[in-house]
Amino acid sequence: MKHIVEGLENRRASARLGGGQKRIDAQHARGKLTARERIDLLLDQGSFEEFDMFVTHRCADFGMDQGEKTSGDGVVTGWGTVNGRAIFVFAKDFTVFGGSLSETHAQKITKLQDMALKNRAPIIGLFDAGGARIQEGVAALGGYGEVFQRNVLASGVIPQISLIMGPCAGGDVYSPAMTDFIFMVRDTSYMFVTGPEVVKTVTNETVTAEELGGASVHTTKSSIADRGYDNDLEALLQMRRLIDFLPSSNTEEPPEWSSFDDAERLDYSLDTLIPDNPNKPYDIKELIHKIIDEGDFFELQEAHAKNIIIGFGRVEGRTIGIVANQPMVLAGVLDIDASKKAARFVRFCDCFNIPIVTLVDVPGFLPGTAQEYGGLIKHGAKLLFAYAEATVPKVTLITRKAFGGAYDVMSSKHLRGDVNYAWPSAQIAVMGAKGAVEIIFRADIGDADKIAQRTKEYEDRFLSPFVAAERGYIDEVISPNSTRKRIARALALLRHKELENPWKKHDNIPL
């Protein structure tokens, strides 16, 4: 028996070598870890249970039946725990045919996707792969189709996370594109549908891999990636942090962690956060950090559409999603990018029972031909639609401006906001005083005294929270120093909120 057990260990040791020591060394020389090293860092120590370690490809074309078949076939799959909670994980092994996807490789992934869905646990893919295994042709394409189909079925049921850790092309970017979050490692990872050589052939454009699909492009311009990290280690540790914010599935509440931060904590520095001059910016992140437990904020899409901020925090140990206009950038205006960014986040929170706290300081939608031609109407409607359909607890605080359509959009009472607060500095109106007076008192425009008087009248009447509060659109005007306490109490009240939308197959959000 002893030699049989030894035989197993030998087979395992050989499988663990993947494409061989030379390719492992090359992987390390590029600053990348191997698939198994990555999994070990992602999961709790010793918790990984591997599946299908001995699977090999079945391809006989292009001499594939002649060479040695590598056990595992370019992907390591299995499950383990992150801080004690079950997670399914697959990691592409770049040392085996560049991590490319064969028919059997696809079957390993789809088996894992099916298990994750059946067992209602998140699934994380670690990508470092060159797309379809070219030698397998349509068998590989079929394999991707099966993976994509499961991505879609799992969407909104279990969290799906993709971490891009090497050059990824073809199907290895389309599958991540259908997951909830994509993260990238700077300088070693790229995402493109077709690589620089194909681009050169087809469009005669000369472009480097970094310029075409590096983290710097996808975290800023394209917004494909939610964040970039400096190396594999940092990226994997941040994935552990993210998972701690998320529920395992859409039928579970987010996990609750003990917090040492007093929910009743008052913060008097907030009483002077809003500058006297209404056109002067201030950093809304300061407010976010002062509301959430221990200032622990997991920001997403930080480098894209900086005029709106999204991310996870906790209050009384429970996850919340935060959406906040950022007056520091473009005065916090809603434009195409900001609307799309926030809309997707609101929908994620709504899928996974995460209450949404919205901090409002918005001068309106961004005017201009660039925005209108780009479809601001449709993209702005995405955010409106997302808030209106969301049934999770919604707590809103207007700190300063809430003008025009943007007032309605930003989780207003009219879109079933549950608890809507305002600071005394709030200004809730169709538009700012200057624009309003120039329209409704156009006849007085030549008379500076009259205009000044009209402006003052408008400011006194509308640029406060009280007109909205008189109508019940604002539930309470609160002191800035009590914000954390008031939001915590509202969230506690809403813990057992029940609200259902009418039955439908699915909605028709303006895509």
**Footprint of ligand HXC (CB under 6 A):** 23, 97-98, 100, 130-134, 141, 144, 167, 169-171, 174, 195
Task: Determine if residue 208 is left, alpha or beta; phi over 0 gives left, psi from -120 to 50 gives alpha, anything else beta.
Answer: beta
How many CA within 13 A on the CB side of residue 65? 4
Least distance to ligand HXC, CB of residue 198, Å: 7
Least distance to ligand HXC, CB of residue 480, Å: 50
Nearer to ligand HXC, 105 or 486 (CB): 105
Nearer to ligand HXC, 185 or 242 (CB): 185
Q: Closest residue (Cβ) to ligand HXC?
A: 170
Rounded CA separation 480/425 (Å): 9
Q: Which of 246, 257, 256, 255 is nearest to 351 (CA)?
A: 246
Least distance to ligand HXC, CB of residue 192, Å: 9
**Contact status, residue 364 vs residue 404, Cβ threshold 8 Å:** yes
Least distance to ligand HXC, CB of residue 33, Å: 15
Active site residues: 170-171, 405-406
Beta bridge partners, 52, equal: none
Least distance to ligand HXC, CB of residue 362, Å: 38
Q: Which of 490, 178, 509, 117 is nearest to 320 (CA)?
A: 490
Assign 225 to helix, strand or coil. coil
Q: Which one-letter DSSP state was computed for residue 316?
A: T
**Contact status, residue 397 vs residue 359, Cβ threshold 8 Å:** yes
Which residues contact residue 303 at a Cβ distance below 8 angstroms, ignoring those fewer than 6 apart?
Answer: 219, 220, 228
Nearer to ligand HXC, 81 or 194 (CB): 194
Please provide residue 257's backbone torsions phi and psi, each rounded to the nearest 5 degrees.
Answer: -110, 150
**Contact status, residue 396 vs residue 421, Cβ threshold 8 Å:** yes
Nearer to ligand HXC, 106 or 376 (CB): 106
Total residues found in the chain within this entry? 511
Rounded CA separation 495/17 (Å): 49
Nearer to ligand HXC, 174 or 297 (CB): 174
Least distance to ligand HXC, CB of residue 191, Å: 11
Nearer to ligand HXC, 92 or 341 (CB): 92
